[in-house]
Structure 1
Amino acid sequence: MRLRASTPPVGERLDKADPVRDMFAEIAPKYDLLNRVLSLGVDQGWRRAATREALLLHPKRVLDVATGTADFALELKRAAPDAEVIGCDFVPQMLEIGRQKAAARGLDVQLEEGDALNLPYEDASFDVVTCAFGFRNFADYKRGLAEFHRVLRPNGRLVILEFPPPPRGAFGALFRFYFRHVLPTIGRLVSGSVGAYTYLPASVMAFPEPARLADMMLASGFRARYRLLTFGVAALHVGQKV
């Protein structure tokens, strides 16, 4: 098995888009399996919590940005079969796997190629925008939030599910050890990619703290709140377009 050694840059970096796209294209066939193994299945519960927030006001049109292999878009459609659900991502290989999953499950979800920092949709065209575990991969967080705000209708809802930096204390220390040592080893063995599962913990460590992300949402024109999941391993941010 050939191991890919390069690691994309983390944080807000204008040079990260192409390396991130290449990395996800490479690991696309093993992406879903790795998510289940590396999170011990807990990520599915996090997505269900995010789904409840996204669908609380019974939206008619939902956009899932950085949809990847469409796990979250498919969960949204399953829970709201009458809603139009569109998934957008800039990695064609991930979208193709998502289309296969949608067909196998009989779910009518539109999966379209597009850049999160320049979304190919009209202003005020969605009731809800979601982003599950993709926001930290953006090259420019403020630009991404501005695009979310642009495509949302007045009073529209934004739901972001993401890994914040591990919390302080004993549990946080244990999680840091897992992220820095155990996760890269498992990821490398399963996917054959050194860079991808070195990038993941590095990107989490470089991501804004939950309170800071909420402040960024406020500055971008949202009312914002958040809550921590599983002792702070994940964070669920909810915004309302002002």
Structure 2
Amino acid sequence: MPDPSHPPIGEADGKAEAVESMFDAVAPRYDLLNRVLSAGIDRYWRSRAVRTLRAEQPRRVLDVATGTADLALKAQRTLHPRETIGIDLSAEMLDRGREKIERANLASRIVLQKADAADLPFDDGTFDAAFVAFGVRNFEDLDAGLDDIRRVLRPGGALVVLEFSTPRTTPIKQLYAWYSRHVLPRIGGLLSPDQGAYEYLPSSVAAFPDGVDFLRRMEGTGFVDLTWTPLTFGIASLYTGRVR
């Protein structure tokens, strides 16, 4: 049976509950850790993801694995949809997201609720666009999550996925491996009560089917017009696709 506080790597039964427990534990320091561990670059990555849909003016937006709502807030401020809904497994993360939304005076436009990506509580074709930022590698069943996101998008609707990836060029590949193995868990342990969460992060990135392999998973669940854009030497990747 998996450790309830440390999710199994890759797709596995029981992962959803372990992910929920892990993010509940790190929620109080999650935003600080994001800024420190990425040197603030995570803000640029989210902005880049949202800007891919600027010309489309989606009216209803879904943010899957919203966490503390950073991307939901960026999407609302940039795309100005009628409504943005963020879902996440972690109630603690959602509570902190709601606090940020209230401070931004956007509670009438952004709604957060607890839900699983593989069992979304929405009708078919509800949304014009969906985002997943740094959450898709945590899905218990990647294909089931992608398939249900496709289901709730209207025909022609867009999915934008932002996720960590493994750099492929020298010396970035070697530097990233050293940072992930030695620096990231140590800083995470200093700033967070759960060092295991920041040992899980590089392991989950290494196990994730990034690049062309992830495009194949998107294609297999019904997405078309696929693109893959490496960001910051391939430390993160931006993927897009559409519903037929």
Q: Which residue of 2 aligns with 1:219?
A: 220
Once the two structures are superposed, what CA deviation does each residue of 1:97-136 show, in whole Å capped at 9, x if it has no partner? 0000001111231011111110011101100011000000
Partners of 2:182 and 2:169 in 1: CA distance? 18
Find the aligned partners of 1:62 and 1:155 in 2 and give their Cα distance. Answer: 14
2:120 match: 119
The root-mean-square deviation of aligned C-alpha atoms, in Å, is 1.4
Q: Is the 8 A contact 2:72 2:84 kept in 1?
A: yes
Counterpart check, 1:56 vs 2:47: no
Aligned mates of 2:148, 2:43 — CA distance in 1: 27
* 2:174 paired with 1:173: yes
Match of 1:25 in 2: 24
More moved, 48-57 vs 114-123: 48-57
| AA partner of residue 205 (structure 1) | A
Match of 1:197 in 2: 198
- The aligned length equals 239
CA distance in 2, matches of 1:143, 1:6: 23
* Counterpart residue type for residue 240 of structure 1: R
Other-structure match for 1:237: 239
- Equivalence for 1:96: 95
Q: In the TM superposition, what is the alpha-carbon distance from 1:218 to its structure 2 partner?
A: 1.1
TM-score, normalised to structure 2, is: 0.95
Aligned residue type for 1:200: L
Structure-1 separation of matches of 2:80 and 2:31? 23
1:25, 1:94 within 8 Å by CA — same for their partners in 2?
yes
Inter-partner Cα distance in structure 2 for 1:75 and 1:226: 21
1:71-90 to 2 correspondences below 5 Å? 71-90=70-89
Say whether residues 1:157 and 2:158 are aligned partners.
Answer: yes
Deviation at 1:86, TM superposition (A): 0.6
- Is 1:15 aligned with 2:14? yes
Q: Aligned with 1:87: secondary structure?
A: strand
Q: Could you tell me how far 1:82 is from its partner in structure 2?
A: 4.1
Is this contact kept in 1: 2:131–2:159, CA < 8 A? yes
Matches for 1:114-153 after TM superposition, within 5 Å: 114-153=115-154
Q: Aligned partners of 1:165 and 1:208: how far apart in 2?
A: 10
Matches of 1:136 and 1:51 in 2, distance apart? 19
* 1:45 correspondence with 2:47: no
- Whether the 8 Å CA contact 2:118–2:145 is kept in 1: the answer is yes
Work out the CA distance in 2 between the residues paired with 1:239 and 1:6: 33
Contact 1:8-1:195 at 8 Å conserved across structures: no
How far, CA to CA, are the matches of 2:5 and 2:67 in structure 1?
A: 21
State TM-score, norm by structure 1: 0.95
Structure 1 gap segments, 5+ residues each: none
Gapped runs of 5+ residues in structure 2?
none
Matched AA of 1:160: V
